Structure 1
Amino acid sequence: MANLVGNALRHGAPPVRLSMDVREERPDVAWAVIEVTDNGPGIAEEAMPHVFERFCKASTTRTRSESSGPGLAITAENVHLHGGRISAANLPGGGVTFTIEIPLHRDIAAIDDSTAGPR
């Protein structure tokens, strides 16, 4: 998340927004859905399928730095290691939204056992 917010501040334009929600999927699984949105120039559509690849620099129009771009690949790997998903989408009026979805597993049996008291 820190890398996405940092990228939005460096390469996008204000305001940068961060939101989090929980999406219920089943009684035992929910997803933490985190979105980082900026109002910058967006990412070229032809670069979008490669944005999470190592050393991909999406566009010289999007960046004000000399970075080689491994940050999004590292972010994607961290998300995947947690069983999650990450995506990027350009917004119709400009800007980009990066969405991270991380599974929140609920062990109902463990919750029931912990609240049952001593045996």
Structure 2
Amino acid sequence: MASCTAPLLALSLLVLWTSPALGGTNDAEDCCLSVTQRPIPGNIVRAFRYLLLKDGCRVPAVVFTTLRGHELCAPPDQPWVDRIIRRLHRISAKASLALPPPQPCLLQVPIQDSSP
């Protein structure tokens, strides 16, 4: 009985140890299964992020988030993808320049009169 338990325990530990939920790799739902070769209109994109092989994904991709919240997977090596990313960087830089400088916070503490 004990001779059957040890291999079963070892197999269970191996499965748990290689599980993506416990490891540092991305879940399949975080990765793109394919990418579109058709250019995405840059004016509908509000954000992007990279999903690369080193992140645990099988398909390297740039994930564009549209104004409506949809996520579209694009190949990172295409010129039209670079143009959209540069456009988003320019918009982000302009927005940060347009913000007023931060104002110092003054903490006002009420002073209590301690005289009798």
TM-score (norm. length: structure 2): 0.26
More strand by share: 1
Structure with the greater alpha carbon radius of gyration = 2
Q: Choose between structure 1 and 2 for higher RCO, CA contacts under 8 A separated by at least 6 residues.
A: 1
More helix by share: 2
